[in-house]
Chains A and B, each alone.
Chain A
Amino acid sequence: MTATQPQQIFEGIRILDVGHVLAGPMTSSILADFGADVIHIENPETGNFIRELTGAAGERTVSRGYDLINRNKRNITLDLRKPRGQEIFHKLVEKADVVTENFRPYVMDRWGNDWETLHRLNPRLIYCRLSGYGDTGPRQVRRAYGRIAEAWGGWAVTNGEADGPALHSGFSWGDTLQSIWAANAIIMALYWRDVQGGGEGQMIDSGLVEPLYRAFEQQIIIYDQNQVSIKRMGTQHEATPYAGVCKTLDGRYFSWSAPTQESVRNLLQAVGLADDTRFNTFDACMEHRAEFQAAVSAWMAETKLNEIWDNFEKHQAVGSPVMSGEDMYHDPHLKARDMLISVPDPEGGKDVVMQGIVPKLSQSPGAMRNACEPMGSRNEEIYCGLLGMSKEDLEELKEGGVIASRTGSLG
Chain B
Amino acid sequence: MTSQQPQQPQQPKKTVYEGIRVLDLGNRYVGTTLASSLMAEFGADVIKIDEPNLEPPPMGGAYVKDGVYLPYKVQGRNKRHITLDITKPKGRDLFLQLVAKADAVIETYPAGAMESWNLGWDELSAVNPGLIFCRISDFGQTGPYAGRRLDGRTSEAFAGFSHIDGEADGPPLHSQMDMGGETAGVWAATGIGMALYWRDLRGGTGQMLDIGLYEPLYRQIQTNVTPYASTGVADKRFGNRRATGLPWVDSHETKDGRYFSYSGATRGSYRDTNLSMGMHMQERFKDLPITYRHREEFHEEAAKWMKERTLAEVDDKFTRFDGASAPCNTAEDLINDRHTLYRDLVITVPDEELGPVRMQGVVPKMSRTPGKVTSTGERPGARNAEVYAELLGLDAAALQSLQSEGVI
| Given A217-B75, A226-B62, A231-B176, A337 contacting B222 (CB threshold 8 A) | no
CB of B368 within 8 A of CB of A333, answer no
Number of B interface residues at 8 Å Cβ cutoff, please give it: 178
The answer, yes or no, to whether A32 is at the interface (CB within 8 Å) is: no
| Closest chain B CB from A8 CB (angstroms) | 8
The answer, yes or no, to whether B147 is at the interface (CB within 8 Å) is: yes
| Given A7-B202, A231-B176, A361 contacting B195 (CB threshold 8 A) | yes
A residues near B70, Cβ cutoff 8 Å:
218, 221-222, 225-226
The answer, yes or no, to whether B327 is at the interface (CB within 8 Å) is: yes
CB of A255 within 8 A of CB of B226, answer no
A residues near B194, Cβ cutoff 8 Å:
9-10, 34, 187, 361, 364
CB of A218 within 8 A of CB of B149, answer no
Stretch of A72-80, A240-248, A392-400 with 4 or more beta carbons under 8 angstroms from chain B? A240-248
| Closest chain B CB from A310 CB (angstroms) | 9
CB of B234 within 8 A of CB of A326, answer yes
| Closest chain B CB from A158 CB (angstroms) | 4
Query: A273 CA to B380 CA in the complex, in Å?
Result: 32
CB of A170 within 8 A of CB of B235, answer yes
Stretch of A37-45, A81-89, A173-181, A378-386 with 4 or more beta carbons under 8 angstroms from chain B? A173-181
Stretch of B24-32, B86-94, B384-392, B395-403 with 4 or more beta carbons under 8 angstroms from chain A? B24-32
| Closest chain A CB from B263 CB (angstroms) | 4
CB of B29 within 8 A of CB of A259, answer yes
CB of B55 within 8 A of CB of A180, answer no
Interface size of A as a range: 35 or more
Query: A187 CA to B58 CA in the complex, in Å?
Result: 36
From B210, B340, B358, B369, contact of A360 by CB (8 A) = B210
| Closest chain B CB from A322 CB (angstroms) | 5
Q: Which of B27, B60, B364 has the most CB of A within 10 A?
A: B364
| Closest chain A CB from B374 CB (angstroms) | 16
| Given A165-B259, A226-B65, A337-B142, A213 contacting B345 (CB threshold 8 A) | yes
Query: A144 CA to B266 CA in the complex, in Å?
Result: 11
Query: A139 CA to B319 CA in the complex, in Å?
Result: 9
| Closest chain A residue, CB of each to CB of B358 | A224
CB of A217 within 8 A of CB of B11, answer no
The answer, yes or no, to whether A91 is at the interface (CB within 8 Å) is: no
The answer, yes or no, to whether B282 is at the interface (CB within 8 Å) is: no
| Closest chain A CB from B113 CB (angstroms) | 11
The answer, yes or no, to whether A65 is at the interface (CB within 8 Å) is: yes
CB of A245 within 8 A of CB of B174, answer yes
CB of B162 within 8 A of CB of A253, answer yes
CB of B225 within 8 A of CB of A353, answer yes
Known: A217-B71, A325-B235, A361-B195. 20 other contacts (CB 8 A): A5-B204, A62-B244, A138-B338, A147-B249, A154-B334, A169-B175, A183-B190, A196-B13, A230-B176, A233-B176, A234-B173, A237-B153, A238-B63, A259-B29, A259-B30, A259-B151, A266-B149, A318-B149, A323-B159, A328-B160
Q: Can you name 26 A-B residue pairings with CB atoms under 8 Å? A: A55-B244, A61-B244, A133-B343, A142-B322, A143-B269, A143-B322, A147-B249, A159-B175, A165-B251, A169-B161, A171-B164, A171-B221, A177-B183, A199-B12, A207-B343, A210-B343, A230-B331, A243-B153, A261-B57, A286-B60, A309-B148, A324-B234, A325-B160, A332-B143, A352-B226, A358-B187
